[in-house]
Structure 1
Amino acid sequence: MALLTLEQARAILTLGSDTQYDDELTVYITALTEVVEGLVGPIDPREVVEQADAYGPTLVLLQTPALSLTSLAPVLSGGSTVDVASLYLNGTSGAVGRLDGANWTGGPWTVTYQAGRSTVPASMTVAARLLLQHWWRTRYGAARGNPGGGEDFDVNEPVPGFGYAIPNRVLQLLEPYRRPPVVA
């Protein structure tokens, strides 16, 4: 699911019902959804199947937020599937623990779960709208008719790790939902 519809994008950019730019807008919508999900994790609920190792009492899922566990089975044959009702899921961190407090043994594990959000926070939607406006207004660089700059969408300082593609205001709106760093 995209963060914005084509109709919303046209309205945000004040294009009215003009469909002339629909192909380009569709690419922008797909790209901004990918960028936001790269920072905050999945938006639309989806099934994820991944292999995970567990050390001690915690198994950690890579895609957060996690909504629910579907199944958990050892990768190697001969082991038994774990009843997900006997597990605890911290959806925000992706930590999976055993309700009996025991350590995980017998892995690696194939974990199937639902990741995403049941509702999209308003600040994510606003961030998506601002990012669309920024990319749209800056797509032609200085040729856009304002070579002196001074627009509200100028990005004078590159954001570390993002260059000029993502304005600070977008990152600030997404900050409360940023995924924790993955440690290997």
Structure 2
Amino acid sequence: MALLTLDEAKQQLNITSSTDDAELQVYVDGVTDAIEAHVGPVENREVTELHDLPAGGARALVLRQLPAVSLGSVSAVLDSSPGYDTGALDVDGPTGVVRRLDGGRLYGPLRITYTAGRGTVPSTINLAARIMVQHLWRTQYGASRALPSVGGGDDTSVSEPISGWGYAIPFRVLQLLEPYKLPPAVM
């Protein structure tokens, strides 16, 4: 499952030849990181994290990459702390909060392996990726050659850079990603 395929990018750009495939693939791969910086993992991937919990344990812990699809394993890092059967735990996918089903406390440190991502790529995120590739591909043609057939239009007239991304992400892409945006505290 890819956030955006080369064929989808070529379709968006109305490219029918394979002449630029290698270069265009770099753009396709690049938009994934930029989009996932705003919405978290889209393509499913396995993540392993170390969670150091307070000495008295904790009622819950929060996974760092959201959304979470499923828990793989929750094992003890030290012999003095227990591991947990994932069947005895609940994970809230959108928030990444993990709790014991019996209401007990979690003790650590714990090494947690889980799948983060969305399972399927929402059509709105795919559309945002297409528009972003189109926006970035325009740099191949220079300001005087921005032709409508290769993505001409007015989305490059951005009034100010967006939080560290400069002009790489047009407002319309950010607006499409808004419903999927990560909560502010997630890094």
Residue 67 (structure 1) shift: 0.8
What TM-score, normalized to structure 1? 0.88
Indicate if the aligned counterparts of 1:72 and 1:109 stay in contact, CA closer than 8 A: yes
| Percent of residue pairs identical | 48
Indicate if the aligned counterparts of 2:75 and 2:84 stay in contact, CA closer than 8 A: yes
SS at match of 1:110: strand
> What amino acid is the match of 1:8?
E
> What amino acid is the match of 2:99?
G
1:66 and 2:68 matched: yes
CA distance, structure 2, for counterparts of residue 45 and residue 139 of structure 1: 31
Provide the aligned C-alpha RMSD in A: 2.1
1:30/1:47 Cα in 2 relative to 1: closer, same or farther (>3 Å)? Answer: same
SS at match of 2:38: helix
4+ runs deviating over 6 angstroms = none
> What amino acid is the match of 2:106?
W
The 5 A counterparts of 1:22-61 are 22-54=21-53, 56-61=58-63
1:75/1:37 Cα in 2 relative to 1: closer, same or farther (>3 Å)? Answer: same
Residue 160 (structure 1) shift: 2.7
Q: Deviations over 1:13-50 (max 9, x none)?
A: 1111x111111111000000111112111112221111
Q: Which moved more, 1:21-30 or 1:46-55?
A: 46-55
Indicate if the aligned counterparts of 1:159 and 1:166 stay in contact, CA closer than 8 A: yes
What TM-score, normalized to structure 2? 0.86
Equivalent residue number for residue 83 of structure 1: 85
How many residue pairs align between the two structures? Answer: 179
Q: Which runs of 5+ in 1 are unaligned?
A: none
> What amino acid is the match of 1:85?
G
